[in-house]
Chain A
Amino acid sequence: MNLVECTVLSNRELSKGNFLLSLKVPRAFARPVPGQFVHLRVSGQEEPLLRRPYSLEGFVDRAGIRAVRIYFSVVGRGSRFLAANPKGQVLDLIGPLGVGFSPRPRRLPILVAGGRGVAPLLFLSRRLRERNRPFVFLYGARSRAELYGVREIRGGRLHLATDDGSVGFEGSVLELLGREWGHGRHTPLSAEIFTCGPHGLLHEVAEFARRHGIRCEASLEGPMACAVGACRGCPVPLLSNGGNGRYPAMCVEGPVMDATIVDWARLP
């Protein structure tokens, strides 16, 4: 982990309010693990006050140029500032930070993505492909227009779901997961789940995994101040502590965590 300067290589609006940002980083930026994040100063100005944590959509290390990619939606003040950065803008970031996904050997990874939560899972799918590992990618979004990166998912079996049925299965990605598991070809010893998306979806995926005894890692999202474990501003409630005991910090013990131990009902 380091504080490094970065330069905007491109910042494109791919669909309404959804951007793909590419940032050139120096050699001092270590090769990230899918699921890790960067703590980004989102503007060259003094506003907003705090950095924003963003999971990486990808990492490029080609012809001597290193770049990180971030897929983000304009949802608030920080992302509005981030969207306004033109090519050539210099920003800085701290990273790579946190714990990423950890696929186990000889298990089939089932990736379950909801909405813009697809970003770190695209990164994971590329790493799996590099290692010639098969995977299943289940991806749900509101509509065809909001799907991102579908053509980049190669080397695995892809199933899409949309709320409006404009492409793929009409319904939730959770139903896709139910069908995938329902075929009976997977067991908790042969497959595992990696998921990212709205916390409501992650809660449901975690319940599904717990019910079937499946190992399940989820990438969490939330506001952070320091992002290095010092300020204790991003606590993750656990089922075991019932309001007491220790809160892991999302920034250093996450953002990827065992989904079946998180108390989703108490996580905003």
Chain B
Amino acid sequence: MKPSLAVRIGSLALRNPVLVASGIIGYGREYERLVDLSRIGGIVTKTVTLRPRAGNPPPRVHETASGMLNSIGIENPGLEGFLEIKVPILRELPCSVIVSVEGEDVGEFCELVQGVDASGAAHAIEVNISCPNVGPHGLRYSTDAGMAREVMRAIRPLTPLPLIAKLTPNVTRIAEIAEACEECGADAVSLVNTFVGMAVDSRTRKPVLGTVLGGLSGPAIKPLALAKTWEVAQAVDIPVIGMGGIARASDAVEFLLLGSTAVQVGTALFADPGLAESCVDGIEAYVRGMGATSVEALIGALEVPEGRGVIRAGCRPAREGSGS
């Protein structure tokens, strides 16, 4: 019997747990000849901001050891352009559509969520409070539990769509931010966004990226991403969507084992456009190999020796009033 791969993220039912991460395949159309969207769970769109953004000066991408630095800077047509140009495309896609949004302040987040909700093109909204490439604001919202709380509280009443808070790994205690989002009505958290990184050209004595700093992704970050995802999966009860360096089906299985309900593939899809589909096949084969009938059997099935791998109490502040 074919095992069921269906999972739920709040009220969103996904046909399988494999999504393509934000910023990878634009709004779907760019990759239509290379990725069979009807076979995967869904896509997360390129992040939409309230006003159009031209993005950062070149160079914006640089390959590192098993990784990639980027400083794209959320080049996008803005909410109005998104509604006019991208929504008609998204409505036709044969998979779930999660629209990623990012505001410069709470008011912008509210306008974006209302606009995307009304567009009818989104099955869920990913709240990008974690991009390292748009100045201090984006990152501040997810490096500070208080500010993450403020955003989530403000947007929660504005839509019945599942809200997924996308977290940055560039913090000391990521679980604290995840818990804040959960308390304020997030239906799920997704992590990790890129790690802040830098490349230097010793020949020219200049930084490689036009913006000096960028975000690191790709297989190089997988162990770091697994650790952050593990930490968050221990801390919250809402679904966790894991990502960071997935380059083959077994990587996706690893994220599911440690408690992710779904995964997102990113950078490695540039090299292997069939990656998302092969992850679906690999997860199905793994579930069958377990003798299970549903992918649910795989989620959180990591066998951890008693008392190991937990964040020790002394290292972690109390949940409330920790004054961080």
The residue from A41, A245, A266 contacting B57, defined by CB atoms under 8 A apart: A266
Min CB–CB distance B122 → chain A (angstroms): 19
B226 interfacial contact with A, CB 8 Å: no
In this complex, how many residues of chain B approach chain A with their Cβ under 8 Å: the count is 35
Report the Cα distance A199→B266, complex, angstroms: 31
Q: Is the CB of B54 within 8 A of A246?
A: yes
If A49-B66, A51-B270, A94-B34 touch, does A232 touch B57 (CB 8 Å cutoff)?
no
B75: A residues at CB distance < 8 A: 232, 235, 247
Q: Is the CB of B24 within 8 A of A232?
A: no
Q: Is the CB of B30 within 8 A of A234?
A: no
Report the Cα distance A152→B151, complex, angstroms: 64
Residue among A3, A49, A237, A266 with most chain B CB within 10 A: A49
CB closest residue in chain A, given B74: A232
B218: A residues at CB distance < 8 A: 49
Q: Is the CB of B58 within 8 A of A225?
A: no
If A228-B31, A230-B25, A233-B72 touch, does A223 touch B270 (CB 8 Å cutoff)?
no
| Chain B contact surface mostly | loop
Q: Is the CB of B25 within 8 A of A243?
A: no
Q: Is the CB of B57 within 8 A of A235?
A: yes
Q: Is the CB of B67 within 8 A of A228?
A: no
B267 interfacial contact with A, CB 8 Å: yes
Residue among B25, B66, B75 with most chain A CB within 10 A: B75
Min CB–CB distance B99 → chain A (angstroms): 16
Q: Mark A221-265, 1 if CB is under 8 A from B, else 0.
A: 011111011111111110001011111000000000000000000
The residue from A78, A224, A237, A267 contacting B61, defined by CB atoms under 8 A apart: A224
CB closest residue in chain A, given B64: A49
Report the Cα distance A41→B275, complex, angstroms: 14
Q: Is the CB of A226 within 8 A of B63?
A: no
Q: Is the CB of A94 within 8 A of B273?
A: yes
Q: Is the CB of B63 within 8 A of A235?
A: no
Q: Is the CB of A49 within 8 A of B271?
A: yes
Residue among B33, B54, B218 with most chain A CB within 10 A: B54
Q: Mark A140-154, 1 if CB is under 8 A from B, else 0.
A: 000000000000000
B59: A residues at CB distance < 8 A: 222-223, 268
A46 interfacial contact with B, CB 8 Å: yes
If A49-B67, A231-B24, A241-B54 touch, does A3 touch B61 (CB 8 Å cutoff)?
no
Min CB–CB distance B121 → chain A (angstroms): 18
Interface size, A (range):
35 or more
A47: B residues at CB distance < 8 A: 66
B49: A residues at CB distance < 8 A: none
Q: Mark B203-229, 1 if CB is under 8 A from A, else 0.
A: 000000010000000110000000000
Q: Is the CB of A3 within 8 A of B68?
A: no
Report the Cα distance A229→B219, complex, angstroms: 23
Report the Cα distance A241→B56, complex, angstroms: 13
A1 interfacial contact with B, CB 8 Å: yes
Q: Mark B250-284, 1 if CB is under 8 A from A, else 0.
A: 00000000000000000110110110000000000
If A1-B33, A232-B72 touch, does A49 touch B61 (CB 8 Å cutoff)?
no
Min CB–CB distance B268 → chain A (angstroms): 7
Report the Cα distance A49→B63, complex, angstroms: 8
Report the Cα distance A229→B60, complex, angstroms: 14
CB closest residue in chain B, given A235: B58
Min CB–CB distance A70 → chain B (angstroms): 18
Beta-carbon contacts under 8 Å, B57-115 to A: 57-63, 66-68, 70, 72, 75
Beta-carbon contacts under 8 Å, B1-41 to A: 23-26, 30-31, 33-34
Q: Mark A42-83, 1 if CB is under 8 A from B, else 0.
A: 000011111100000000000000000000000001100000
Min CB–CB distance A263 → chain B (angstroms): 10
The residue from A48, A222, A230, A268 contacting B63, defined by CB atoms under 8 A apart: A48
Q: Is the CB of B68 within 8 A of A225?
A: yes
The residue from A3, A236, A247 contacting B34, defined by CB atoms under 8 A apart: A3
Given contacts A226-B270, A231-B24, could you give 18 more A-B pairs where the C-beta distance is less than 8 Å? Answer: A2-B33, A3-B33, A3-B273, A41-B271, A46-B219, A50-B270, A94-B34, A223-B61, A225-B68, A230-B26, A231-B270, A232-B55, A232-B72, A232-B75, A233-B72, A234-B61, A236-B58, A247-B75
The 21 listed contacts between A and B (C-beta, < 8 Å) are A3-B273, A3-B274, A47-B66, A49-B63, A49-B66, A49-B267, A94-B273, A223-B59, A224-B61, A225-B68, A225-B267, A225-B270, A226-B30, A231-B24, A231-B70, A231-B72, A232-B46, A233-B70, A235-B58, A235-B60, A237-B57
Contact surface of A with B, Cβ cutoff 8 Å: 1-3, 41, 46-51, 77-78, 94, 222-226, 228-237, 241, 243-247, 266-268
**Which 6 pairs across A and B sit closest by C-beta, in order of nearness?**
A230-B26, A230-B30, A233-B61, A232-B75, A225-B270, A225-B61
